[in-house]
Chains A and B, each alone.
Chain A
Amino acid sequence: MGDGKTRAHPLKPAAPLPYVDHFGLSPSDLRAVLSLALSSGGEFAEIFMEHSTYDFINMEEDIIKETAEAVGLGLGIRVVRGDRTGFGYTNDLSMDKVRKTAQTAAAIARGKAAHPLMPPPLRDRTSRASRYLVRRPADKASLAEKIGLVREAYDAARFFDPRIVKVKVHHSDSLVHICIANSEGLLVRDTRPMVKLACVAISEDGGKRESGYWGSGGRVGLEFFRDVRAPREIGEEAAREAIVLLGAVDPPAGEMPIVLAPGHSGVLIHEAVGHLLEADFNRKKTSIFWNKMGKRIGSDLVTIYDDPTIPSYRGSYNIDDEGTAPRRTLLIERGVVRGLLQDKLSARLMGGAALTGHGRRQDYSHWPIPRMSNTYIAPGVDAPDDILRSVRKGFYVASLSGGQVEDSGKFTFSVSLGYLIEDGQMTAPVKQATLIGTNIDILQKIDRVGGDLAFGLQTGTCSKDGQDVPVTDGCPTLRIAGMTVGGRS
């Protein structure tokens, strides 16, 4: 908590460089390890070092029930030769163990070194500018202050309505220091903050029970909860959803017009488009999009970007987990496939495609793969009210709890709160529905796009190949001419 930075190896003399502070490895140590990693013929070697601190507060049943603190320390070493990757990791950062990890990763190459063994001198390319706008760092704030935020959200939910019977509020914040060194001479660091405050409220009425969820945060400081989103609003929104659901009906079943609320409905774009434009699925030709570059796959109202550079968003970063400076990447332009989300391995194996800065990993014990960051559909020109009024009978998606896609383009997303649309008006609330479709089909059926682009809750996490990374999704109000709603009849 208040103890500041940790040194992994108190016996080593303190040095002024932050990566030495955190990891006890000097640039010349790192260069020697990289050289060892290349010693059996690897073409590329990389050391990813990570030191993280994490704080957590749980309030339930009207008490601060528990707090937790976690420290993560480790490094992963990757050696690539052709399309083969060797990988090892350790959380013992003694030079002996680090060298052994390098040898393990090097074993993939199983040959003679074809290159000069010693990589070029490491040059620190860390930029001074950061897109994490933090005025009151959570790691420096007192636990009492964070408990204050938790209580505010808790009380707002608890006393929102007499039918709220249980409330749970979680606060978490983390600070992750990473340092990447590779055999191309790159040495780069990033220090990434993350804050999240989330509330679950349970409502009960006449034997019926429902739950509501709301949360917020991002790569921000605690000022966020004063200036942007008050904890009170988070508690109230969770409670409001739980209360509205008490009066909700079962979803209708069958194919019907869908209107998506702005913001979190971006999950649709994340699932339907984003995953299948990750470069690895296209390099391996498992994605339905692999042969569709430059081809029209959707309505010309659909333009989609992934942008890791949005200041302080949950999915944003200064550098990706391979040390590449990220850029806003155009995926779909007016219905035409224009780009992929690349990491170093796929870009090289796809004939030297440009890097986009989307190589991400969960932590040091995983290697980087192409991932999304903040994915959104660009705003159109329609007025949201006009879009709603254009539907005589359909389904309005207000709040989503997640989704999933497979490479064929079949995808689903789960609606935690929706509304029936009757004669252009939202009427009865609807609970727990799943929507299913095939991406190309649905992208062609997007026929109205609003001008009201918004992003979701800043609490989302995306899973792929067993790795979780923080992401956000955004979209304006939009209409899909027809999609299958999985309801009960």
Chain B
Amino acid sequence: MKGRKTARPAPALRDLAEELVAYARSCGADEAEVSVVDGYEFNVDVRKGRIEALIEAGSRSAGLRVIRDKKTAYASSSDLERATLRRLVRNAVRRAELGNPDEFAGLAPPAKERIEAASLNLHDPSIAALDSRTKIALARETERLALRDKRITNSYGATFATNEIRSVLALTNGFIGEYEQTYCGLGVGLQAGDTDHRVEDSWSSSKRHFKDLESPEEVARKAVERTVRQLNPRKIKTRNVPVIFEPTQTSWLLGFLFGCVTGTAVYQKTTFLEGKLGQRIGNERVTVVDDALIPGALGSHPFDSDGLACRRTVVIDQGVLRSYLCNYYAARKLGLASTGSADGGGVGPANFYLRPGPGAPTAEDIVAGTKTGLLLIRTLGHGLNSVTGDISRGAFGLWIEDGRIAYPVTEITIAGNLGRILETIEAVGRDLEFLGPIAGPTIKVAEMTVGGQ
């Protein structure tokens, strides 16, 4: 169980991608796009001090888009035998014939600019060099530290995981690009309380660089704090109050917002923000940015799946909707420019975040400035409707009285509307941290319905 010292041979992937592009053209495709991904995964789960599971695996896959007579067909495979891939290319060219012409189908013109992958610092070579013993010890230590707290009554276990990924993209327009990236993560899940009154929560840290990862002490401490603060909850009566979102909660709200600002959702009319470009959709506290160029950040990447250079896009500027996020296809349909957001057949986020303004308050200030309200700490369920912006989810929180956290509350729901939330954000905190590619600080919303008894 030694660390892996050698990188995988790269030229083979690049050659395969270029060969398939050429083959697609020889089969009659007007245009073709081939992506090849080579990944290596390590995962260890430790529970109650014992290794529960150890996964180590390498895997490859290829994806393909062909366009013929303005008709598009896709294919993908985890079988990289040449015969299989060639058959998929031939099938795709043939299948494209059965589709309908789409005037907007086609590859983007070759990118004018290129981002150097190296400048984004996406790859940490020290991850491949970590030996299994070190990785197992990290998970074990994290759980051990968490279980020292006597209020913790059970463990879901701790996990340490790494991923090393090499991606290659080749297009008939001459584009060929590739980059390597790494991820690592350390987390633990816990329960507190006796059998019939359990509460649960978890914490994990996820980074591209091993040195940036939170220590076992930090991960354990946060997981314990998040779990035990929910002990002995009360139920409350239904009422309308201000709701403060912790950063973990702001991030799902922003994930929902992301789905509402993609060009795809706009032309499909599945977003309430369709037709709102250039208009005020929130108050001046709301500035949302999607930035692919933050060095070392989880959502950074040099080019998108259209082969276009990634960039920084201001989506909402002080409440005004400035840009939808588009791949080349959605941009053409809407008469806009691509934002370099192509992700497979759709649109994906880079680092999509709500930006704290100058002089933003701390989370503590925001709580202290709230007479009565709910600090939202966890949600359950999926009640998000992008067509209307409606939100309705199960929730757990801490009740605030006179600017102080009074007691935990359980079995409640929160209901509101994203459009209304953007208009009535009363505070955007300064505690922005990229826990994932979609992130936001603590925010306070003027009023939502908190459903209870």
| Chain A interface (Cβ < 8 Å from any Cβ of B) | 1, 3, 6, 8-10, 51, 56, 60-61, 63-74, 83-92, 101, 104, 107-108, 143-144, 147, 165-166, 168, 200, 202, 204, 209-211, 250-251, 253-255, 284-286, 288, 290-291, 365, 367, 401-408, 410-414, 431-438, 440, 484-489
Contacts and interface: CB of A to CB of B under 8 A. Distances in A.
A468 to B, nearest CB: 14
Contacts of A286: 154, 156, 191, 198, 200
B44 to A, nearest CB: 10
Contacts of A200: 270
Interface in B298-325: none
B99 A63 contact: yes
Interface stretch (B8-16, B177-185, B335-343, B445-453): B445-453
Contacts of B195: 285, 288, 290-291
Contacts of B382: 401-404, 414
Nearest to B154: A286
B52 interface: yes
A174 to B, nearest CB: 13
B252 interface: no
Contacts of B78: 71-74, 91
B75 A404 contact: no
Please give me the 9 A-B residue pairs with the lowest Cβ-Cβ distance, nearest first: A486-B413, A412-B394, A412-B381, A73-B79, A63-B100, A68-B74, A486-B451, A71-B77, A434-B392
B113 interface: no
A410 B238 contact: no
Contacts of B83: 6, 10
Contacts of B237: 254
B88 A89 contact: no
A486 B387 contact: no
Contact of B98 (A91, A147, A436): A147
B100 to A, nearest CB: 4
Given A65-B102, A69-B95, A91-B60, A251 B52 contact: no
B57 A66 contact: no
Nearest to B387: A211
Given A8-B81, A367-B53, A412-B394, 13 more contacts: A56-B74, A66-B73, A71-B79, A89-B59, A90-B58, A91-B59, A108-B51, A284-B47, A285-B195, A432-B385, A433-B383, A434-B392, A484-B413
Interface in B224-255: 237-238, 240
Contacts of B92: 69
Contact of B388 (A88, A209, A436): A209
Given A413-B381, A434-B392, A3 B87 contact: yes
A63 B132 CA distance: 52
Interface string B94-108: 111011111000000
A66 B74 CA distance: 7
A69 B88 contact: yes
Contact-size category for B: 35 or more
Summarize A's interface: helix, strand, loop or mixed: strand
A365 B41 CA distance: 11
A412 B52 CA distance: 30
A74 B76 CA distance: 14
A413 B383 CA distance: 8
B191 A254 contact: no
Contact of A486 (B58, B77, B79, B392): B392
Contact of B59 (A69, A74, A285): A74
Nearest to A485: B451
B7 interface: no
B262 to A, nearest CB: 15
B91 A1 contact: yes
A165 B269 contact: yes
Contacts of A6: 79, 83-84, 87
A253 B95 contact: no
B72 A434 contact: no
Given A60-B268, A403-B381, A251 B59 contact: no
Contacts of B165: none
Contacts of B57: 87-90, 101, 104, 365
Interface string B190-218: 01000111111000000000000000000
A88 B197 CA distance: 38
B91 A254 contact: no
Contacts of A86: 53-54
Contacts of B401: none
A434 B383 contact: yes
Contact of A67 (B88, B95, B197, B199): B95
Contacts of A250: 415
B59 A67 contact: no
